Amino acid sequence: MKIRTPKTMDDLLIKKRYNVLEVGGGNHPDKRAHVVVDKYVEDNTHRSGNLRVLKNQKFLQADGEHLPFKDQEFDYVICRHVLEHVDDPIQFVKEQARVAKRGYMETPSLLGEYIAPKESHRWLIQDIDNKLVLYDKEVVGFKPWMDFGEAFLYYLPKTSIAFKILERTQAPIITVNYEWEDEIEILINPQDEYYLNHFIKPWDESMCEKMISKRSFGKEVTTTIGAMFDIMVSVTRNKLLGSDS
């Protein structure tokens, strides 16, 4: 079940002693992962660059729907921007819950997919009532006409502090950030109008209030200040390490 919505990757509940797996590390594996698996070694269709493995990481070529590990072999599993590509999402998440007790799943949100649509993404995904709800793009007639990914995925995160604050205070605008324990609750193409309407009808004010956090003025101020502090810490640390924020 979902336990929280992390603000950033630095906010994950990963203890130093944890044995960590990453499924689909691609061209940007997490440095905390001890083992990284990827289905595709030479094909970059589903990622934005060549496969990369960091020093001291073990790499295995494997299908995320059939992981070559024992039950509960890992303490934590990270999976970022992979679920939207897979053939069998239910089997995919079951495998992660089998090999680890807890983990983190990140995907484009529904709004994020409209902002930066990708042909390689088969599924639209939204966190609704702490469940990952997926619809096949063809089922809901998803037909985007413009890709603003360069602005929202690359340019603004690098150049705008205001956008960095937005990412940390309103993550669902771009991504689904889903930290879980024991199991991942998932629904595929549900026909219930309650879920379907999130994907096929324009969002009115009540829907926006539900899907995008509405806070009191005081909470908004403290959340924004916290995000600014987090950004300063992140930038300082990355400057010291000689990497990009």
Give the Cα separation of 172 and 199 in Å (integer): 14
User: DSSP assignment, residue 57?
Assistant: -
**Domain boundaries 2-214, CATH class:** alpha beta
The b/e string for 103-141 (b: 16+ C-beta within 10 A; e otherwise) is bbbbbbbbbbbbbbbbeebbbbbbbbeebbbbbebebee
pLDDT at 234: 80
Radius of gyration for the alpha carbons in the chain, expressed in angstroms and rounded: 18
pLDDT at 46: 76
Full strand arrangement of the beta sheet holding 123-128 = 123-128, 131-136, 186-188
pLDDT at 138: 95
pLDDT along the chain (245 residues), means of 10: 92 96 93 95 80 93 96 98 96 98 97 94 97 97 93 92 91 91 97 96 92 89 92 79 53
pLDDT at 23: 97
**HSE-CB for 19 with a 13 A CA cutoff:** 10
pLDDT at 57: 96
The helix (run of H) or strand (run of E) holding residue 234 is helix 217-241
pLDDT at 194: 97
pLDDT at 244: 46
User: DSSP assignment, residue 151?
Assistant: I
Domain ranges of the chain: 2-214, 215-245
pLDDT at 35: 97
pTM of structure = 0.90
pLDDT at 44: 78
pLDDT at 241: 64
